Structure 1
């Protein structure tokens, strides 16, 4: 805060002087607490209070004590939506057109949220609020997530006083990549000890709030709680899954019918709403084999357990606020960041890293894994038939600008501020409207300056006018949408959508920006057709033209241009990197692990790993360098006093080479050489084979063949660590001893990668987009 002018008197001595203290900043009298809960990849038709088939009693009680909105919209993607929620500006205005990993060098696309677009956390902390962020962030440029920073786009750099969660788009629920404030932190316990990330986040939320309330009970808080559920991996203890055994055997087609019936009964959708048309990418349930139906039902059971488990953790936070006597005076805003996700593909996946490496799913193997889905062994995701059902009654899903991708749950509860209970509101609301609504509820004006930065205008509209006036005319009447070239525009009850052709494989021409012509718009009259089931473009060509032109006008206002529908090419765009490319990377023990985007790239190329160590009397053991996770990677380590190298092929097979001789005591240099001996076979999901040689002080002590390596990526949640395996043990050989830290001394570990790098750009694009 700026220094305040001294209003006392300073004399020659204390007796001649009058002290004066700067005024403490306090929030407005009776300003409420604010709890914003952001779910991940939860569709419009998945919560119980929206007609879903999953029990969500705690979210339901929020709805019973407040409001549900059936016309709330997001951007159809996570990071862009979250930037809207926190700033009140559109995602392109925030330079967050997509996730930061697909940023480009244009103002609406570069992934750096301008400080001129202050976050609600920055606004409230300057007005006397405690501010906390917990869980998923995914708003830091990809090149800035390592210990090298910069940290100005980390939560503590954007107005949050405390943070505990993960910076990326997803993480393993049992062994997460945790960040506490501005540093990495190991999970407080293990999966075997019952650890689960969502439970941890809920407990930390309670602790953060309690820490301040016990000292200053009148100081309100703004808490941004983002558990990361129900994004893949769908992981939850078995007892939460058992409840749903057999509950989804009817299949996704029948599930859609049941959900719509419940939605109409609840008044969440208007009477007479039709189901959107058959999705051409989804097979009819009755055409699947019995084994497929059995597997896919189980995958949905796991998701259901995951969602109800998340609801239970939300319940813990709500119960705590009730115990404190704070719940009635807390504005709770619960949303999902986009529609349900189709990233599991048509068959679902038990380990998405196989998909990203072109390793085909095997039905028999997946059936064998069924009983362990949801546990720490698998990184599973359901098939996209359940995605479609989860977005009932709408078309399509996440990443697309149909209502299936962009229409999401919004529950608002504030017992002391909203008289209505259990009602549904139909006014159009967008993610950019949340921040101005919070400001109005707290009695705080949007500031002209935040942290020394003059502020841009807030682009959203408060929807507080609708709290106690169900029939109030909507005040947000125009809103554009754009996501990876797909477009839509809402205006005064009409919605026009410009999709890609269904079922058509995109050619290079399709993916180029020049192919994004204005033909192909669909038109929906939402006053009569809530679910976008009936395209009336041919009946109203003048309205199509009006809305298409309006889209271009809005695009020009909000940095949407240049319109960019590229896929692989967009990934290949040059962007800032955390360090200059080099032939040798040097790592040291004891520090933070290196995120995947900043780690050395060794796949499919000749390379060496050299560790300068001191082995104490009696020998040593432990990891020298590990890169990856149980889903794939490699590790150079010592066990039984012998140097070992293991290559984990996408969690399917581990290939190991062991030194013939024990490790000598004293100072020495140990080395692993990897020489490629064949070509990459991407179609078969096989990386380059190679010969591994092991050395002690230049003398060869072992050799072996690695017939198959990871071809593309060590995994979404992977990273590199020196002196221990810090994340999710690469090898089963030492998993029970994780992190299996080296018991000798390591001076440094150097990785030489002077061999030419192999990059498969299309597969890399698929990998990073799954982190949405």
Structure 2
């Protein structure tokens, strides 16, 4: 006898008598998906340019992603916002990035509606929609969609993955993470990696294993229940981490440089039909060094950096292939709608010479070629946070101009593959219709036969701003339904409209031509008027896909129309006010759930406090005071913030009290007490007193004098000549009683947990100095 079911909330259709004998049962119907509903898999790569994947003409081997393109569709006119968090917000909501309050990354938020880093609940996520349609929902890997100040254990959790419709999460909340020592979060709590680099750990295979576990857990119980898997690798974002054997596969393959790479990829793209016939290769970028005149040692360093990147990409593709093979082996691949997208163009965050520590970029600290050369043999391993130079970012976006963070097509036109054997008859074809990341959600809903909900959890929903491109799946000649799209990223602007593209670069088409570097420009009202009058370029991209022929002078009427339309779109989508990139924005004060305070108390065995939620000690006087009970042989970390790329650590070792300030991974300032810490209860203090002002222009924070105190007695002092001006850590937060993940100092090996009794550690940023009464009395007596 079949169960009688009824829709929850509707009248009970059974019979209720005085006894079971006089009654009949009926059950609220469980939430079920439509029969035959496909699984949905989004694979979001990071910092992967148009010219990086094999199927887009690259010499880098990506057989598994190439297989998806051969079995599905490759799009050559898909666009993103040019930056990670903004694009990801579009991918998951179907709304523009300013509509999501996500004009830039969450760490760069500012107090304007389009810029505050807080995605409103009226902009529902695809996960929330599909959860209500009977799907299981999983997010694996990079998130970067929670306000940075809300990523600590204090929450609120409403904008963590589990608060936005995902039932399970395993990954990291920030923008990037060490691939060997990742800042892992499982559901709503921080965890340590399950293994060490010495044991063979790397984040990408770990993410794949957890993704397969999520799917298997569900399918063994409910084989017909579909899933939505949001799989966002840490790759190909820096650090470019990969086991050496993968990088060595490309030994010597990039020795002829980035210009030669561009030529090879460009010719292959024409052969594959990835770019339209007649497309021209864009110019040599003025900010990129000419390859041939470079000294041999520089060529070798830069070539090795690209070998590491290539191995990293092939390694990523290999493990994505494991996930795809799992879907095939379990019979799920045929009816899984897969969309593969990079969140922006290739990244230039390595600077002109590359970097072995990307933290330098975020602190405006100059790179040292000598240090980079010395690190060459260890690139790709856990010791460095490496990134290749501008030249390879430019080459990775072949045939387009520029790169990530900028709105020429090199920053905004990205690889995009769709694969769905049961739903798409076409195989291995190129699609040329214009599309944008905001179109992915409406396309998925179109494929699933679902209407956008009017409300989610009682919140009335805003209109979805993208349009479906499902009609292009089986019709190569279908007209694009996405006619107009604005772009704005850190002061750079562009507009696409029916085959035309207007671009207003800022501070100029290149730093060299502008005479201003990244973060040096101010976008005043006068400067904006000047840009609107003379700074816009115009390209007929329907005929000039790579933006090589600026027709602004010849098409003044069209250009004026495009500029006016940009402002209309800007008003519609919360784009104003326009601001230039300013690295100081990363360190500005933002609302915290605890409000303003000058005293922070930390205790052992608690979760790490992420960068934006931890006490802000940069460029200001502060004290760190630990209350301990010391027994013979006690040692370990009392408080640490950061990791091998930079940070500070306060610890006991060899009976002495120590403090180390690690300046961007290149210099350790060490202070050690002259006496042992006594047995029993003690108060241990470090004090920092600034002795100068920060100089952001040269990447230096306030220098200062560090002092150590034991029970109020001054036991050591020394100058700390260089500090980070803006950011202490890219991912590894502040921890009490241990050093989480990678070690801040080479003087110990993490986690180096404190083996005595640690009650609490207090950080005071009020500016009050420790008073050493005995030292003052001694000085006074000396003057008698």
Offset of residue 170 of structure 1:
0.8
* 1:67-86, Cα deviation, whole Å (9 max, x unpaired): 00000011111111111111
Aligned partner of residue 159 in structure 2, secondary structure: coil
CA contact (8 A) 2:364 2:583 kept: no
Q: 1:233 aligns with which of 235, 239, 243?
A: 239
Equivalent residue number for residue 622 of structure 2 = 607
Say whether the 8 Å CA contact 1:511–1:566 is kept in structure 2. Answer: no
Q: Within 5 Å, which residues of 2 pair with 1:215-254?
A: 215-254=221-260
Counterpart-to-counterpart distance in 1, 2:696 and 2:174: 27
1:586 aligned residue (601, 604, 607): 601
1:698 and 2:712 equivalent?
yes
SS at the partner of 2:548?
coil
State the Cα deviation string for residues 348-374 of structure 1 (Å, max 9, x = none).
111122344454322222112101011
Map Cα deviations across residues 557-591 of structure 1 (whole Å, 9 max, x no partner).
22222333463676576632343332221111111
Q: Distance in 1 between matches of 2:392 and 2:672?
A: 45
Tell me the equivalent position of 2:315. 309
Q: Structure 1-normalised TM-score? A: 0.94
Residue matched to 1:739 = 751
Deviation, 1:63, is 0.4
- Give, in angstroms, the shift of residue 654 of structure 1: 2.4
Cα pair 2:703 2:723 within 8 Å, conserved: no
Q: Please, which runs of 5 or more residues in structure 1 have no aligned partner?
A: 758-772
Look up the SS of the partner of 1:338 in the other structure. Answer: coil
Deviations along 1:184-230, one digit per CA (max 9) or x if unpaired, are 11111111111111111111111111111111111000000001211
Between 504-513 and 144-153, the greater mean CA deviation after superposition? 504-513
Provide the rounded CA distance (Å) in 2 between the counterparts of 1:419 and 1:413.
10
Whether the 8 Å CA contact 1:28–1:443 is kept in 2: the answer is no
Q: Please state how far the C-alpha of 1:265 moved relative to its aligned partner.
A: 0.7
Distance in 1 between residues matched to 2:521 and 2:710, nearest whole Å = 54
With over 3 angstroms needed to count, the CA separation of the structure-2 counterparts of 1:605 and 1:550, relative to structure 1, is closer
Check the 8 A contact 2:334/2:421 in 1, yes or no. yes
CA gap 1:691/1:508 in 2 versus in 1, 3 angstroms: closer
Distance 1:205 1:509 in 2: 43
* Residue pair 1:299, 1:373 contacting (<8 A) in 2 also: yes
Q: 1:752 aligns to what?
A: 764
Q: CA offsets per residue over residues 280-324 of structure 1, 9 Å max, x none? A: 111211121111111111111111111111111111110111110
Deviations 1:136-161 (A, max 9, x none): 11111122111121111111111000
SS at match of 1:313: helix
Alpha carbons of structure 1 residues 265 and 361: separation in structure 2 relative to 1, 3 Å: same
Q: Distance in 1 between matches of 2:173 and 2:263?
A: 38
Distance 2:687 2:449 in 1: 64
**Match of 1:490, SS?**
strand
Per-residue Cα deviation, 1:380-416 (whole angstroms, up to 9, x for no partner): 1111111111101111111111111110010000111
What do residues 408-428 of structure 1 show as CA deviations (whole Å, max 9, x unaligned)? 010000111111111100111
Give the 5 Å matches for 1:21-420. 21-420=27-426
Which residue of the other structure, out of 703, 706, 709, is the alignment partner of 2:722? 709
**8 Å contact kept, 1:607–1:752:** yes
Deviates more, 1:711-720 or 1:270-279: 711-720
CA distance change for structure 1 residues 274 and 189 in 2, over 3 Å: closer, same or farther? same
Query: Do the aligned partners of residues 745 and 509 (structure 1) sit closer, same or farther apart at CA in structure 2, a change above 3 Å counting?
Result: closer
- State the shift of 1:556 in Å: 2.1
Deviations 1:697-740 (A, max 9, x none): 3344x3142442323232222311001111321111221xx211
Distance 2:613 2:493 in 1: 33
The alignment status of 1:543 with 2:555, answered yes or no, reads: no
Say if 2:454 is the partner of 1:448.
yes
Cα pair 2:150 2:613 within 8 Å, conserved: no
C-alpha separation in 2, matches of 1:730 and 1:2: 55
Instruction: Please name the residue that 1:762 is paired with.
Output: none
Checking the alignment, whether the CA contact within 8 Å between 2:258 and 2:391 is kept in structure 1 is: yes
Q: Check the 8 A contact 1:687/1:708 in 2, yes or no.
A: no
Q: 1:689 to 1:402 in 2, by over 3 A?
A: closer
In structure 2, the CA distance between the partners of 1:423 and 1:599, relative to structure 1 (3 Å rule), is same
- Using a 3 Å threshold, how does the CA distance of structure 1 residues 695 and 521 change in structure 2: closer, same or farther? closer
SS of the counterpart of 1:593? coil
Q: Pick the aligned partner of 2:543 from 518, 528, 548.
A: 528
SS in 1 for 2:553: helix
Number of equivalent positions: 753
CA gap 1:2/1:147 in 2 versus in 1, 3 angstroms: farther
- SS at structure 1 position matched to 2:170: strand
Once the two structures are overlaid, the 10-residue window that deviates more, 406-415 or 289-298, is: 289-298
Match of 1:439 among 438, 445, 460: 445
SS at match of 1:306: helix
Mark the CA change 1:599 to 1:482 in structure 2 (over 3 Å): closer, same or farther: same
The more displaced of 156-165 and 274-283 is: 274-283
Matched residue, 1:763: none
Q: TM-score, normalised by structure 2?
A: 0.92
| 1:584-733 superposed matches below 5 A | 584-616=599-631, 618-677=632-691, 685-700=699-714, 702-712=715-725, 713-733=727-747
| Distance change (3 Å), C-alpha of 1:238 and 1:23 | same
* Distance in 2 separating the partners of 1:146 and 1:576: 14
Q: Secondary structure of 2:28's match?
A: coil
2:483: which partner in 1? 477
Once the two structures are TM-superposed, the CA of residue 341 in structure 1 deviates from its matched residue by 0.9
Q: Which residue of 1 aligns with 2:524?
A: 512
Flag the 1:620–1:17 CA change in 2: closer, same or farther, 3 A.
Answer: farther
* Greater mean deviation of Cα atoms: 606-615 or 671-680: 671-680
Q: Which runs of 5+ in 2 are unaligned?
A: 1-6, 770-784
What CA distance in whole angstroms lies between the structure 2 residues aligned with 1:297 and 1:126?
A: 49
